[in-house]
Amino acid sequence: MTPQEAAKKVRKGQGPKGIHRIDRPKIKGEQWHAHLGSGEGSPAINRDGTWKHPNGLTSKQRDFLRKAGWNV
């Protein structure tokens, strides 16, 4: 699964509980990242597994993101 496919699944309500959205990079150097809460500045994890905004992941969230190419 690609990040684009994962984002589509989350938008359709087919992602694991707690992943609110997946955003594409918007500026140079930014990565695909998954937000674990609603609103700007919510906890988010980059595709390489580093935290954009710190928090923790459930095993279901981790498995879903791994399938989409995240290094978590």
Q: What is the pLDDT of residues 16-55, one digit of tens each?
A: 999 999 999 999 999 999 998 887 778 899 999 998 876 6
Calculate ∠ Cα 21-48-45, nearest 5°: 35
Calculate ∠ Cα 53-37-41, nearest 5°: 40
The whole-model pTM stands at: 0.74
How many residues appear in the chain? 72
Which pLDDT belongs to residue 37? Answer: 87
Residue 53: count of CB within 10 angstroms of its CB:
15
